[in-house]
Amino acid sequence: MEYKAYTSFAPDFLWGAATSSFQVEGAAKVDGKGLSVIDVMQKNPAITDFSVAIDHYNRMEEDVALMAELGLKVYRFSIAWTRIFPNGNGEVNEKGVVFYNRLINELVKHNIEPLVTIYHFDYPQSLVEQYGGWMSRKSIEDYRAYAEFLFKTYGDRVKYWLTINEQDHVVRIPSRLGLTGDDHYEQLRLGYQANHHMCVATALTIKTFHELGMKGKIGPAISYSMVHPASSHPDDILASKDAMLIKHNYLMDLHCYGEYSHSFREYLADRQFTPVMEDGDLELMKQYPPTMIGVNYYFSEAVRAFPATEEFPIGYQKKSLLPEAEAGVFQVVKNENLDATDWGWEIDPVGLRLTLRELHERYKLPIIITENGIGAYDKLEDGEIVRDEYRISYLREHIKQVQLAINDGVTVFGYCAWSFMDIVSGRNGMEKRYGFVYINREDFDLKDMRRIKKESFKWYQKVIASNGEDL
């Protein structure tokens, strides 16, 4: 639908940017921090690791001053679980507590709203060793207790909380669960068990949030995007609906309704993936749903039908980082209508509007966009200039679609670009850059680490100052 006039962004709309602890902080073994699954996973020697990252731990005040200069209204960051509880449970590390107190106080001083992600991929390695991590029900209480500590320690200044970042990605990427070995089927089975425990842990944490009388909102940060049918053929349309269910909606159905839908139950049973659950688990989820949704959106996908055959029976999955093909369900194909990034992610601003509408219609909760951005080979010119017009174009077109979604009646109260500054990418090191601020670090060269404002910094500064009027 087209409109004669756009609805303006609300005066208190939260313009922001985001990072995660393991990608920016560094200081991986400093001041009492324990090891996470990120710290112990096999390193790719071709890329920068996370032990130093971009040294935010030691340059925090400088970085927050840049956030204030940019004009951020909200900063989304994660707290490193093992900086607070080095073993995931038990003894508290006071130096870690102090660091995040300093960060939050610095943000508040500059009138920047802290948006805290409780857990963003960096699960405590000690809990994996103690009892198998998320695969054990013991994980539920340890997560809840960690979250309760954060609420009591920082809740006087933090109004917005994200429980688990991209849970679906965690359960499908074995290293993030602390799993080793090559049994893909077994890892998927364990992933669905871990997923169930995460949903119970989230509901218990939201229960604790309410019991403590916390102000503000709480919910998951989900990776969610439209899956388009590759054609108008009914089989492709069915494949797109099925892909939406097993990639995205199954998880939000659990968080918001405490339900394994009939279709998803059958999907799990056919593959012997049905998790063990206890009486009361689903009722707990129904009683304590999220009060907001955080959405990470980068690209959409197109799929066609993938009929099961003798060669590719039901249950066959193409082994890939995230699902690309599953016999009897779908196969991801190139969308010829869209351009793509250097990494092959198809650029679909209208897909963001569709995503927001889909979430609004299914779950009817306030939404904040917690990640949206483009990774690129940024080039530093003359030691001080980064001309990233492609980033400006990407963000501009996506922000326009956010405005249109608001016109459609979707409650969107904030937008966090990914990322505030260049971070160490999970699979591409410093080669793949997302930020408004260039970090002058190439591979393992730590001599410089200067923060350099890109052209997109100046552009986003104007966007925020004009409350989205000057795009």
Which pLDDT value is given to residue 430?
83
Residue 307, both tokens = 């009929």
Sequence letter at residue 465 = A
CA-CA distance, 168 to 247, in Å (whole number)?
7
Nearest to 35 by CA among 80, 78, 77, 79: 80
CATH architecture of structural domain 14-225+282-298+341-465: Alpha-Beta Barrel (3.20)
Q: Which two tokens stand for residue 383?
A: 């030691």
* pLDDT, position 128: 96
- Specify the pLDDT at position 441: 76
Model pLDDT, residue 346: 95
pTM tops 0.85, yes or no? yes
pLDDT tens for the chain, 471 residues long, are: 777 777 889 999 999 999 999 999 999 999 999 999 999 886 666 566 788 889 999 999 999 999 999 999 999 999 999 999 999 999 999 999 999 999 999 999 999 999 999 999 999 999 999 999 999 999 999 999 999 999 999 999 999 999 999 999 999 988 899 988 888 889 999 999 999 999 999 999 999 999 999 999 999 999 999 999 999 999 999 999 999 999 999 999 999 999 999 999 999 999 999 999 999 999 999 999 999 999 999 999 999 999 988 888 887 887 777 778 888 999 999 999 999 998 889 999 999 999 999 999 999 999 999 999 999 999 988 878 899 999 999 999 999 999 999 999 999 999 999 989 999 887 777 888 999 999 987 655 566 789 999 999 999 999 999 999 998
Give the whole-angstrom CA distance, residue 334 versus residue 73: 37
Instruction: Give 26's DSSP letter.
Output: -
Closest CA relative to residue 77, chosen from 25, 26, 27, 145: 25
Separation of alpha carbons 191 and 196, rounded Å:
9
Q: Write out the catalytic residue numbers.
A: 166, 371
CA dist list (Å): 438 to 14, 63, 64: 23, 12, 15
Pair 335, 228: CB distance under 8 Å: yes
